[in-house]
Structures are given as structure tokens and as C-alpha cells.
């Protein structure tokens, strides 16, 4: 008997494992935005881009889980597994980052204007 042919075939890879493997590589390569100095609106937008990048990496895992569930349990609504993280972030976390950044910048501008007015009073 040939020992090569007597070996059992390795079990097939879990279908979600492939999506996880791709995500791990992409997440490891993600370079999050760094804020240096006083934060500006562009910094907020860079953070929003980071959130969107993470969503684009994680959402395929959610789709893979949905596909796996459907393969084992039967037909399901695939739209409930597509772009779920992106949908949760857009208009929520992304909106919040931008609004807080706008408030910070507006408050900073008001404080600078107040400071200039105060300095003019001191000079006169």
C-alpha cells in the first residue's frame, strides 16, 4: 500500500477563514492618520478616511459570514450582510468626528479673536 495515497485529504478551509486572512493582512498594513500640531478639519477627514478603510476591510468578513450562514441554513437576505460596518459608521461616527472638529476650530477662532481684541485694549 502506498502511504501517499492512504493519507486523508486535509479538511477544506473554512470559507470565512479566507476573508479573515485577507482582512488581517490589510489591517496590518493600514497606516492610521496622525495628527501633528493643532488639529484641523483635514485631520478629521483623514480620521474619517481611516474609519472607511477599516469598514472596507471588515465588511467582506461580514459578507462571508452571511454567505456561510446561507450555505448552511438556507436563503437569507444578503443585503443585511453587505456594507454593515460602513453603514453604521457613515452619518454616525464619521459625522461626529467632523462636527467635533468643526466646533473645535470655530472655538479656537473665537478664542483667537477674543485674544486679539484684549491685546488691542491693553495697547491703548
CA distance 13 to 22: 14
The predicted structure's pLDDT at residue 121: 77
CA distance 61 to 21: 10
Look at residue 13 and give its three-state secondary structure: coil
Q: Could you tell me the pTM of the whole model? A: 0.79
* Cell numbers linked to 101: 472638529
Percent pLDDT > 90 in the chain is 74
Q: How many CA atoms lie within 13 A of 122 on its CB side?
A: 6
The predicted structure's pLDDT at residue 3: 56
Q: Which of 64, 66, 56 is nearest to 87 (CA)?
A: 56
Q: How many CA atoms lie within 13 A of 47 on its CB side?
A: 18
User: Does pLDDT of 97 surpass 70?
Assistant: yes
User: Does pLDDT of 83 surpass 80?
Assistant: yes
DSSP at 77: -
Cα dist. 73→18, 39, 68, 69 in Å?
20, 49, 9, 6
Q: What is the pLDDT confidence band of residue 6, given thresholds at 50, 70 and 90?
A: low
Percent pLDDT > 70 in the chain is 90
Average pLDDT over residues 34-50: 96
Amino acid at each position: 500500500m502506498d502511504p501517499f495515497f492512504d493519507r486523508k485529504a486535509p479538511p477544506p478551509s473554512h470559507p470565512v477563514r479566507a476573508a479573515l486572512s485577507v482582512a488581517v493582512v490589510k489591517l496590518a498594513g493600514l497606516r492610521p492618520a496622525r495628527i501633528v500640531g493643532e488639529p484641523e478639519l483635514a485631520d478629521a477627514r483623514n480620521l474619517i478616511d481611516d474609519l472607511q478603510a477599516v469598514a472596507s476591510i471588515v465588511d467582506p468578513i461580514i459578507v462571508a459570514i452571511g454567505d456561510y450562514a446561507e450555505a448552511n441554513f438556507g436563503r437569507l437576505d444578503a443585503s443585511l450582510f453587505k456594507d454593515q460596518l460602513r453603514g453604521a459608521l457613515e452619518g454616525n461616527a464619521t459625522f461626529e468626528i467632523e462636527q467635533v472638529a468643526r466646533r473645535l476650530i470655530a472655538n479656537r477662532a473665537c478664542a483667537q479673536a477674543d485674544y486679539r481684541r484684549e491685546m488691542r485694549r491693553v495697547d491703548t
